[in-house]
Structure 1
Amino acid sequence: MRVTVLFGGQLVEAAGVHREELELPEGSSLADLLGELGRIHGPRLTSAMAGRVLVLVNGRSAEPSRAGEVRLSDGDFISILPPVSGGLT
């Protein structure tokens, strides 16, 4: 199956790309995808994602700590974004 991954913020620099398509085995989970991204992009991306990140699968929030429970499907769009911080004071 083929999925599209979009990186945001400092994760773009860590991955070296803003967006990429990956081929994964049928039945792969979000955890499988995150592991594959670490294998492809190495420790810089793994380290950048080790902190809190926001993961969306087709626009819906997916908790990284439960990534093994999230099954992916062909054509899914996964966004991996740094946490939002700041605001008005």
Structure 2
Amino acid sequence: MGFFSEFSKAVNGDESGARYSVAGLEVKCPHCGGTRFLEGSALLDSRGMSFMGFDWASKGAMTLTCAHCGHVDWFADGDAIEKLS
């Protein structure tokens, strides 16, 4: 399933997403305290890279979107994230 269908399930009260830990601690949403997240990725752009047309070469980040409220947490080191369920 895609991100939007998973998020729609979460908004409607259905169980979706997975639990994650970073650096040995379970990830919890700082807004609502939720523990289920949808995984994604994003580019960490800079003005210089965009100006030169090298957006594709920018470093990426991993995102975890709370399945309950939609708050997005960004993690620069995706290797530090561990999926629990």
Greater strand proportion: 2
For the pair shown, the structure with the greater C-alpha radius of gyration is 2
Give TM-score scaled by structure 1 length: 0.25
Greater helix proportion: 1
Higher relative contact order (CA 8 A, sep 6+): 1
